[in-house]
Amino acid sequence: MPTAKDSSEVIVFAPATVANVACGYDVLGFAIDEPGDYIVARHADKPGLRITAITGDDGKLPLDPEKNTATVAALDLLHHLGMTDRGIEIEIHKRMPFGSGLGSSAASAVAGAYAVNKLIGEPLSKMQLLPFAMTGEASADGAWHADNVGPCLLGGIVFIRDNDELDVAQLPVPKNLWAAVVHPDIEILTKVAREILPKDIPLANATQQIGNLGGLLCGLIQSDYGLISRSIHDVIAEPRRQKLIPDFYKAKRAAMAAGALGFSISGAGPSVFALCEGKEIAEEAGEAIAKVFNAIPLSNQVHISPVNQKGVQVVDKIPELK
């Protein structure tokens, strides 16, 4: 049992993620710098895993470790390691809205597994933590897809060849790729966003989507911004899910007019994202999108970020709430 590298307490930050990325439904996602969730894990004398505090959840999250996404992931890890009798206390500090399309439950699950793994001396690598974080997220979401958990854990742009087999690959990130992510203050449950999708789609649409996903991957790998831009189209989920987001196409037009490479729904929504070449265009696109929501009026938060290449990480402290 690893003890040498044990520390008494670790604080970790798990970032928000943009899943689907237009044409990559269930197979592509990337991490951004903020927002994200913080989790503190510390040793305790009393055996077993306990949640001692949750903040930022408006009282919505369960304190029962077997029901909370973060600790379901951590428990699955401890079970795998035969260490469920370890005394560990967990604090969860949610800094991301629920049902936002920013991978909130994925961030908690990743943070839970990663914090406990760190606390007990890091027996597993990040990649090895993937299935445990997935178990945590699936406990909240019901579905099994790694397009949030993958990039949240590993950082960068993550492509998932097969969700069942957890066959994932990190893609190189073009140097100047930025995102404007805007979260309008409405809630969409992933379940509802999934039910709005048809069970069958035209083969012609699948071929289009396959062409665009392939184009996006080639564009990302080869830093070809033109190809990236021509490829960011979703003919499957976006046309149906946009109905759940007020003035979606108006926001899209505004982002594209501001010079974005592409614009679509982040995960199941309601957050939207614009991929951009450079920080400046991302800021302009973010502003343009916010303006559309403000005019409704629909309050919203804008996040401008490069692709976060680190994923979940240990931090010194939890920053004060702004």
Q: Please give the full DSSP string across 251-303, using - where no structure is assigned.
A: HHHHHHHTT-SEEEE-TTSS-EEEEEESHHHHHHHHHHHHHHHHHTT--EEEE
- Cβ burial of 123 (10 Å; 0-12, 13-18, 19+) is middle
Residue span 223-262 as binding mask against its own copies, x where in contact by CB under 8 A, dash where not? ----x--xx----x--------------------------
Q: In the numeric block, which tokens belong to residue 86?
A: 């370890």
103 lines the binding site for its own copies (CB under 8 A):
no
Residues making up the binding site for ATP: 97-107
Smallest distance, its own copies to C-beta of residue 145, A: 9
User: Which CB atom, from 108 or from 229, has the smaller least distance to its own copies?
Assistant: 229
Residues 271 and 155: their CA atoms lie apart, in Å, by 19
The count of chain residues that interact with its own copies, using the rule CB under 8 A, is: 41
User: Of these residues, 89, 91, 137, 277, which one is catalytic?
Assistant: 137
- The whole-angstrom separation of Cα 149 and Cα 2 is 26
Instruction: Using alpha carbons only, give the angle 31, 261, 198 rounded to the nearest 5 degrees.
Output: 70
Q: Does 221 bind its own copies (CB under 8 A)?
A: yes
- 8 within 8 A of 315, measured Cβ to Cβ: no
Query: Among residues 15 and 215, whose Cβ is nearest to its own copies?
Result: 215
- Cβ 144 to its own copies, closest distance in Å? 12
Total count of residues recorded for the chain:
322
Active site includes 137?
Answer: yes
209 touches its own copies by CB under 8 A? yes
Q: From the annotation, which residues make up the binding site? A: 97-107
27 touching its own copies, by CB under 8 A = yes
Cβ distance 13 to 315 under 8 Å?
yes
- Strand 48-55 relative to strand 87-93, pairing: parallel
Among 127, 189, 201, 314, binds its own copies (CB under 8 A): 201
Q: Which residue has tokens 């080869």? A: 222
Cα distance between residue 225 and residue 119, in whole Å: 41
CB of 248 to its own copies, least distance (A): 21
Comparison of 162 and 280: residue with beta carbon closer to its own copies: 162
Collapse the DSSP code of 98 into the 3-class scheme (helix H, G, I; strand E, B; otherwise coil) and give the result. coil
* Cα–Cα dist 184/164, whole Å: 32
Residue 301's Cα: distance from chain center in Å? 16
Could you say whether residue 265 binds its own copies (CB under 8 A)? no
In one-letter notation, the amino acid at residue 252 is K
Interface mask toward its own copies for 141-170; x: CB under 8 A: ------------------xxxxx-x-x-x-
Shortest Å, Cβ 227 to its own copies = 7
Choose, from 69, 89, 190, 284, the residue flagged as catalytic. Answer: 190
Lookup: tokens for 80: 């795998």
| Cα 2 to Cα 48: distance, rounded to the nearest angstrom | 17
CB of 219 to its own copies, least distance (A): 9
* Contacts with its own copies, 50-89, as mask; x by CB under 8 A: ----------------------------------------
How many other C-beta atoms lie within 10 A of the C-beta of residue 73? 33
Q: Is 190 considered catalytic here? A: yes
Q: Which is nearer to its own copies, 84 or 163 (CB)?
A: 163
Among 11, 19, 28, 261, binds its own copies (CB under 8 A): 28
With CB under 8 A as the contact rule, the residue among 197, 257, 295, 296 that binds its own copies is 197
Catalytic residues: 137, 190
> Residues interacting with its own copies, by CB under 8 A?
23-28, 159-163, 165, 167, 169, 171, 197-203, 205-215, 217-218, 221-222, 227, 230-231, 236
